[in-house]
Structure 1
Amino acid sequence: MNRRAPHAETPGRNAPGRFRGPFTRWPRGADAVLAVAIFLPTMLLEGGPGDTMVVRPVSEILHPAVLLFLVAGAALYRRRSRPVAVLWVTLAAWAGTLGSSHSALGGMVIVALYSVGRHSDDNRWGPLGIVAAIASLTIDGLLLSLPWSDIVFGALVMSGAWYLGRRLRLRAGRAARRLRDQAAEARRIVTEERTHIARELHDVVAHRVSMMTVQAGAARMVAAEDPQGALEAMAAVEEAGRQALDELRHLLGVLRPDSERDGLGPQPGLADLPRLVAEVREAGIDVSVTNGIRDPLPARVDLSAYRIVQEALTNVLKHSGPRTHAHVHLRDERDGLTIEVLDDGRGAALQAAPVAHKGPPGHGIVGMRERAHLLGGSLDAEPRPGGGFRLTAHLPVKGETT
């Protein structure tokens, strides 16, 4: 049971307010900017005295090697969709400049190696690309008489770029699997909860039909001797039929897999609330109830209201600790019944646990919200500013007319 369980239909969406950088928000545009941002310095700048960078002479900028820069830079635009091909294009372009003053494609190779680690599912190409890149770096360093420390440092940077991309890809994969698992679990909970609701509603409808059968039989037996009694019995049959049809409308569309029936007895309602409260009090929770319900409730609403209160109090019992005070407030409103359950416990994020009370097992917020939604209502749950938790459910009472 998780008091902060998300809606079942939105498990995979990004959390509100989560930061999304330009490479996530506008991937194509960001890659184009990245390619230009790497190409321009590669074309315009070269190494100067004392590890400085100076602007290339115009004659150097117009050198044919700049075409290789352009090809490698353009390839970076496809670094997400074709990361392996981009790596080999940049390596080939770099190979054509090794040992010359235009051997400046190491930065593009680093970006390509990162892209292979980040966006390629084939792990074979990353190590091969690192070997090829380090070999090119070593050849370039020997031809230009670079210090071995520079070559080793460059090799570490290239290896680190690929490793960083791979780690980010693995982490993203785990996050995606976690979201899929959460979505599957939410769907499983909804399906199981609908099974329980279908079973309970089926029993309610069966009860109404049984009443109709008894009343109709009584009317038939007394029709000749007591016409007025027969009329009253048939009026009761009509009312029970209307109620049964109203309940049946909410049963349609709820899938009920074939399974063993384990709840053939009468279903509980708010009339059983004192017994439930007594059980919770015996477990160490101080519970108070304000019952503002004046009119009888339809059977489906009465049952769902009881289950929601039961699940909410079980939540308090299991997760808020002893000596916690909980208050259940039931009130009639013009368009339905409102249930509010408050507690002053810790109200922390919780893990799933089975319900302690007798009856079908609950699934926290997901299950209670599913009950409310099937009746056309709503359910909200949130921590209270001063500590504890608040659960508010609204259940429509009026059914559709026949």
Structure 2
Amino acid sequence: MTATGADRDAAGTEVARRSWWWWGRRRSVVLDVTLAVASALECGLEGVGFAREASVPVPVGVLFGLVVGSVLLVRRRWPITVVLVSIAVTPAEMGFLMGIVGLYSLAASEVPRRYTAGLAGMSTVAVYVVTVVRMRQDVAEADAGQADFDPSGWYVPVVSMFMTLGLNAPPVLFGLYIGARRRLMESLRERADSLEQELSLLADRAEERAQWARQEERTRIAREMHDVVAHRVSLMVVHAAALQAVALKDPQKAVRNAALVGDMGRQALTELREMLGVLREGTPVASASSASPASSVSSASSASSDGVAGGSSAGVPLAAVGRAAAAAAEAAAEGEGPCLDALEGLVEQSRQAGVVVELVVMGERRRYGVEVERTAYRVVQEALTNVHKHAVGAEVVVRLAHREGEVAMQVENGPSDGAVAGAGLPSGGNGLVGMRERVSRLGGVFVSGPTEAGGFRVSAVLPVDRTV
């Protein structure tokens, strides 16, 4: 994991506390040692003239210059000390390199700006005063015989000011620039680290949303498959049982039952084909090799079932499969499907299977959204399927009410007839769960439970936003 700027600063501070050496890189050590040696040699040579003027032994002046010049070695750790030493030795006319580098180091460091301005001002005043005094002496000695030239006029102060600014201003300005640039780079680095963390969090959230979308799509497909297959196959099984019972006794009735079984099977295949067609349209081309629509649907379904981030199935990335599933769900929601107009045919199919079903419609028929009509149809369909499975021979009443702002449906059956043999249909226990999920998804109310007469009642109310 990449360390942030704060972590690096903390690490550098901790290293400085544990060790006397404060340099972070080897080249910094080499640079500072080189500058310190050059400054010591300069101050040592300048110490010869200082010793003669101060009437002290030359070795003492040289040694003093070497010691003063070597102070530049600590410019990164104590820049204020370097600047103060350079100001102190300014009257001795030594330490010019130390003064320039010291001002630069002070301006580029994290020392408060008021200290930098104060020390830079002190250094400027010291250099200016020494320069003025030295220039007056030099001009007085050089032009002692010229009566028309006065060195105490404008010449010496102006030239001294230019020389002073030329020595002090460039290192201070350059140091301020380097310090600001360093702080900007550190800020950009910290911002980049922060953005990297935010992008990582966004990627995790996107993966969670994609996984949720895949799970939601798997649930929707399973619900549609259950509604389509369970009802049609249940009726087929009921008719097949009736066909087996009357095949020898009533050949004409057996022929009618066989035709009904064929019709049910064709309807089931048609609905399954439409559903798989929607999935094919929502599945992108995954590879350059050609693949059949059926294999594309199979690959998309298996990849969605895996739910493993970053995996693939038949060359289809899970992210693409998630997008295809979402597109398939949207296309299925917007496409045509069973509606309330088909309830009469649905009830008639149950009647042909031998179930006594009464359809009661209340209120004026209106057109609703595709999702509302499909959900209402599926609720009635699943309730009738449960009657075929669990209440053989029971009488059923299907009520549909068109109200202001909502549509309500209720399927109520009486107790099953013990004298009628059941068809032995299996039950997965997902019918009521699927109905509740469908109704809740649209913001409706779903209630189911046994009645006092020994039957069972399923009721649902769906809100209607607008008619179409």
Q: TM-score range by the shorter chain?
A: 0.3 to 0.5
Greater radius of gyration (CA)? 2
Judging by fraction of residues, say which structure has more helix: 2
TM-score (norm 2): 0.37
